[in-house]
């Protein structure tokens, strides 16, 4: 799909500011739909301001020119080749819980409905690691099992994670109804390049700090690669993919670490030596993901 048109919602956020430039480097045309402008004015990213909880604005955003150059062509714009939906309240406690639920669920429903009814054949939506129930759970909780994979039962108690599960369920139903591909990415803790040197020393020194993220993460640039692979992989219908990097954020091998820090959590299969507890095996095997930004490239815990 190189050169095809991608509408990316929420591209001005922490992940989008790295994913959109990656996609543009791959040759895609990208329209950012967000409430705030893209923060880098030199990146060449055009932002259309839209409230995606309004279905009319959503339908119009998906049939918009990508920039003023669109008026030079012979035809008005049609729907894009792919929609990537990252726009959302990014966690709890940004707004009251009911508004977090309303905003996230309504915008996701509207984007999926508009995309499917407009004939878009590929949609990618942002779900979350929080669906595994510990990240924003009340108290010191244990995971149900390790590794956490896409078949693990999910029953979170917090509003943000529940809103993401509702989005997955909407995606599954619309993919079935319209016979399209909708891939839901359960995105891990997003790490930007400048955060390795700043944050990883304390993560390694105090492993308890990373329990809520299952000692896993996703480099924002590698998330761009995952989105590109999703765009290129057709015919899978509805799918859930963990979007994480390969390895655990610890200095001892995964099984030994988990037996020490989560002794009551069962391990259900053989783990690769340094495998992230929030496993990305599925995206490696099905999409061909190969990480480029392992955390050890940017922080050496031995020094």
Tell me: the pLDDT tens digits for 72-111? 999 999 999 999 999 999 999 999 999 999 999 999 999 9
CATH no. for residue 232? 3.40.50.720
Listed in sequence order, the residues at least 6 apart from 233 whose beta carbon sits closer than 8 Å to its beta carbon are 286, 287
DSSP 182-249: EEEEEE--EE-TTHHHHHHHHHHH-GGGGGGGTT--EEHHHHHHHHHHHHH--S--EEEEEE--SB-S
Give the 3-state secondary structure percentages of the chain, helix then strand then coil, rounded to 5: 40, 15, 45
Tokens 């995971």 label which residue? 143
Residue 167 lies inside a defined structural domain of this protein: yes
Residue 34 lies inside a defined structural domain of this protein: yes
Residue 74 lies inside a defined structural domain of this protein: yes
Reported pTM = 0.97
Share the mean pLDDT of the chain. 97
What pLDDT does residue 211 have?
Answer: 98
What pLDDT does residue 1 have?
Answer: 37
Residue 199 lies inside a defined structural domain of this protein: no
SS3 44: coil
Residue 82 lies inside a defined structural domain of this protein: yes
> Please, are residues 22 and 231 in contact by the beta-carbon 8 Å criterion?
no
Neighbours of 154 (CB within 10 A): 20
Number of domains in the chain: 1
Residue 153 lies inside a defined structural domain of this protein: yes
Residue 258 lies inside a defined structural domain of this protein: no
Instruction: Find the domain containing 163 and state its range.
Output: 5-193+217-245+278-293
Average of per-residue pLDDT across 247-267: 97
Give 123-164 pLDDT, tens digit per residue. 999 999 999 999 999 999 999 999 999 999 999 999 999 999
Residue 166 lies inside a defined structural domain of this protein: yes
Q: Which two tokens stand for residue 62?
A: 């998906």
């Amino acid at each position: 799909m190189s050169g095809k048109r991608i509408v990316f919602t929420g591209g001005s956020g922490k992940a989008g500011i790295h994913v959109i430039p990656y996609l543009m480097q791959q040759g895609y045309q990208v329209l950012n739909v967000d409430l705030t402008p893209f923060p880098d004015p030199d990146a060449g990213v055009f932002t259309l301001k839209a409230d995606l909880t309004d279905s009319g604005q959503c339908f119009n955003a998906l049939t918009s020119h990508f920039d003023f150059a669109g008026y030079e062509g012979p035809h008005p714009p049609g729907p894009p080749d792919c929609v990537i939906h990252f726009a959302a309240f990014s966690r709890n406690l940004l707004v009251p819980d009911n508004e977090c639920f309303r905003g996230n669920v309504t915008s996701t429903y509207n984007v999926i409905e508009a995309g499917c009814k407009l004939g878009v054949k590929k949609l990618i939506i942002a779900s979350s690691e929080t669906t595994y129930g510990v990240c924003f759970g009340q108290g010191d909780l244990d995971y149900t099992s390790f590794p956490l994979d896409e078949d693990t039962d999910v029953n979170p108690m917090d509003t943000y994670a529940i809103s993401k599960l509702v989005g997955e369920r909407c995606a599954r139903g619309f993919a079935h109804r319209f016979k399209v591909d909708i891939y839901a990415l359960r995105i891990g803790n997003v790490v930007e390049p400048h955060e390795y040197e700043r944050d990883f020393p304390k993560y390694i020194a105090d492993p308890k700090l990373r329990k809520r993220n299952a000692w896993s993460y996703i480099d924002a640039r590698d998330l761009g690669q995952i989105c590109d692979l999703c765009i290129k992989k057709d015919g899978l219908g509805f799918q859930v993919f963990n979007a994480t990097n390969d390895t655990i954020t610890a200095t001892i091998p995964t099984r030994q670490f988990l037996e020490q820090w989560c002794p009551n959590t069962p391990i259900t299969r053989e783990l690769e030596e340094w495998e992230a507890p929030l496993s990305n095996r599925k995206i490696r095997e099905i999409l061909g993901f190969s990480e480029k930004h392992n955390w050890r490239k940017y922080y050496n815990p031995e020094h």
